[in-house]
Amino acid sequence: MAIGIGASGIVGIAFEQLSPPVLSGAPQAGGALTAGTYKYYITALNANGETTVSNEVTVTTAAGNLTAHLSWPAVTGATGYKVYRTASGGGTGTELLIATLGLVVVYDDTAVGAPSGAFPTANTATTPGVYAAPIKYFPFNSESITSTNQTVFRRPIRQSADIIGAVAGNYMIGGELNIEAIEDVVPYFLMGSRISVVKSGSTPNFTYTFTPTPAAVAAKTYSLTVVRNGIVFGYVGVCTSSFGFGVDNGLMTFKTSVMGRDEAVQSLPTPTYPTTVPFGAGQYSIEIPTGSAVLDTDTFEFSVEDAAEAQFRLKSTGRGAQFIKYGERASTMTFERDFQDRTDFDAFKATTSQSVTITASKGVNNSISILAPVAIKDTYEVGLSSEGDLVRASIAYQNIIDGTGKSWQIVIKTQEDITL
């Protein structure tokens, strides 16, 4: 008998976008570059945009060798490339556009033209719906991703009470994932939701700041690869339709609902799992309002629902959804707290807003922080069940937008260098 999911389950994720090229460079005879040291980046192009930059290459030219010869392996799906160069002696990050190329894999910089135009800081060369093999694997607690095949069963009136036949209908995938809230995994799912992200820091410490936007579609789509009992499913065009954080007996968890366009059988991957330790007891700070730590809370949940829907269109490129669109957003929080006086309860009755911050931290550079800048209590329940019980309050918040237009913000600090 084959082994079960508990011993063979694998989940991996990858953004559906072109990868930046891998650049090599060396001086070459001829040319008219001024003798000196130059730094180069290269990017790949497709119909949707441009990748982020490649690795940086330094080429030093001297008399008789005044050409910088650059080369790179072809990027699958690319329609062209852009080359960026510094001035002689220029530092990292000062590269400017020197050439826009077609489908070539070499470029000789002989000092033709003057650099002009900054390099991109985000990857817009997306390939939504095109399967991408996993680049990040992670353990999971449970998954319920299913394929929906909306077959149309024909029952026209023609002297028969039975089904006459079947016609292929629309197709999509959707379901839920429950994982440990690991700081080097969660960002991948957030980037596939309706957000903007700002990346800062440098190796080995990075900070990702996620802010909700009113966009109609996800910032990025991703491919999810799920292996069940040795059988591989490759889900494509996947978006994060809702997500939430919570704590289960001290362990911080992340639950997400996903929705995608299609799926196909893929090759069995060989996973490499992160060694990051999840957040546990003694690593949480709850501030209600922000800046005032409270120690009377034993559970919390934070959730965002973006009301995603698969959109089907008449087309000749398969039965899968054309794209996933978002609807109205709801952001909520719930807490269980000790009830010590009426101050908080009276604020509930007065519809007083609070700023709430929840932080899980294993150190300065390993944390997840959730901010609700304007939280208004939706329900507030308090009561006694028996003699000698603690008086407990069950509180639910609705998070509304602040003066900058955000209803929440998530800041994640990690050693994971994710290409935006």
Q: Are residues 150 and 23 in the same domain?
A: no
- Name the nearest CA neighbour of 372 among 394, 351, 398, 349: 398
Q: Are residues 287 and 237 in the same domain?
A: yes
Compute the distance between CA of residue 109 and CA of residue 23 in angstroms, rounded to an integer: 14
Report whether pLDDT(129) > 80. Answer: yes
Question: Is 10 domain-assigned?
Answer: no
Q: Are residues 318 and 359 in the same domain?
A: yes
First to last CA, the chain: 43
Report whether pLDDT(80) > 90. Answer: yes
Measuring CA to CA, how many Å separate 359 from each of 193, 283, 286?
Answer: 21, 8, 6
Q: Mark which of 109, 144, 175 sits at the end of a domain.
A: 109
Q: Which two tokens stand for residue 23?
A: 């650049």
Q: Are residues 105 and 147 in the same domain?
A: no
Report whether pLDDT(2) > 60. Answer: no
Q: Which two tokens stand for residue 420?
A: 């935006």
Q: 168 CB contacts (<8 Å, ≥6 apart)?
A: 151, 152, 319
Q: Are residues 223 and 89 in the same domain?
A: no
Compute the distance between CA of residue 350 and CA of residue 362 in angstroms, rounded to an integer: 37
Q: Are residues 166 and 53 in the same domain?
A: no
pLDDT in tens, 252-306: 999 999 999 999 889 999 999 989 999 999 999 999 999 999 999 988 999 999 9
pLDDT in tens, 310-363: 999 999 989 999 999 999 999 999 999 999 889 999 999 999 999 999 999 999
pLDDT in tens, 9-68: 999 999 999 999 999 999 999 999 999 999 999 999 999 999 999 999 999 999 999 999
Q: Which two tokens stand for residue 366?
A: 């390993």
Q: Are residues 363 and 318 in the same domain?
A: yes
Residue 112 is predicted with a pLDDT of 77
E strands, 18-123, in order: 24-28, 36-46, 49-50, 57-61, 67-71, 80-85, 96-101, 106-109
Strands 293-294 and 284-287: antiparallel
Residue 8 is predicted with a pLDDT of 78
Domain count, the chain: 2
Question: Is 347 domain-assigned?
Answer: yes
- Name the nearest CA neighbour of 278 among 300, 242, 248, 303: 248
Q: Are residues 71 and 190 in the same domain?
A: no
Measuring CA to CA, how many Å separate 193 from each of 60, 156, 222?
Answer: 44, 42, 10
Q: What's the domain range around 334? A: 136-414
pTM for the model: 0.90
Residue 77 is predicted with a pLDDT of 94
Q: Rounded mean pLDDT of the chain? A: 94
